[in-house]
Amino acid sequence: MEEKTRAFIAIELEPEIKSIIHTFESKLIPKSPSGLRWVKTDQIHLTLKFLGDINKHQVELISKAISQVANENHAFNLNLAGTGVFPNWRNPRTLWIGLKKSEPLPRLFQQLDAEIAKLGFSPEGKPFTPHLTLCRVSDSVAPHLVQPLQKEFEAFPIESIPDWNIFEVVFFKSQLKPGGPIYTPISKHKLI
């Protein structure tokens, strides 16, 4: 049986942004009900495309496709823009930090999605909603236990956070472990 690799394409956070998010999470975690699965700060990233399980041949093709797209896109800046929850605070399932609108980011996403679709992967069927997932809420947690975090989330200090410089796209493998997933770069692709 052929070995499969669980993979995705993402943008890594700068250390300064990770540090700010870590401080924020450190204040929230003690106030949170059990059953919330917090993403470790060093694992937080901006997902551009989740690929699922892929084989060795696909790894090479995807890496080439990412390189092609990266060579057609300039480095750019992003800004964090508030916090939110999917689908809403009445039924919180995923707590996240959003990003300000940026023309280069959706263009990069659309080009990657189109190139990866040529390799047989389904294109995204919904609009791209860039966000950094901080926490997932287990089905066993009642919404009213999570809702008190809303005020804390809305108080996230966006104004004091610097721009985030985007220089590369990273092709990651994801290994699911009992202590949480481990993300390891397969390849990194510099933007021009």
Tens digit of pLDDT at every position of the chain (192 positions) = 678 999 999 999 999 999 999 999 999 999 999 999 999 999 999 999 999 999 999 999 999 999 999 999 999 999 998 899 999 999 999 999 999 989 999 999 999 999 999 999 999 888 899 999 999 999 999 999 999 999 999 988 877 788 899 999 999 999 988 877 889 999 999 999
Structure pTM?
Answer: 0.92
Where do the structural domains in the chain lie, given as residue ranges?
5-190
Residue range 5-190 forms a domain whose CATH class is alpha beta
| Spatial distance between the Cα atoms of 155 and 86, rounded to a whole number of angstroms | 18
Q: Which of 25, 27, 63, 59 is nearest to 42 (CA)?
A: 25
Backbone phi and psi for residue 88, each to the nearest 5 degrees, phi listed first: -170, 175
Confidence (pLDDT) at 71: 97
| Spatial distance between the Cα atoms of 139 and 29, rounded to a whole number of angstroms | 18
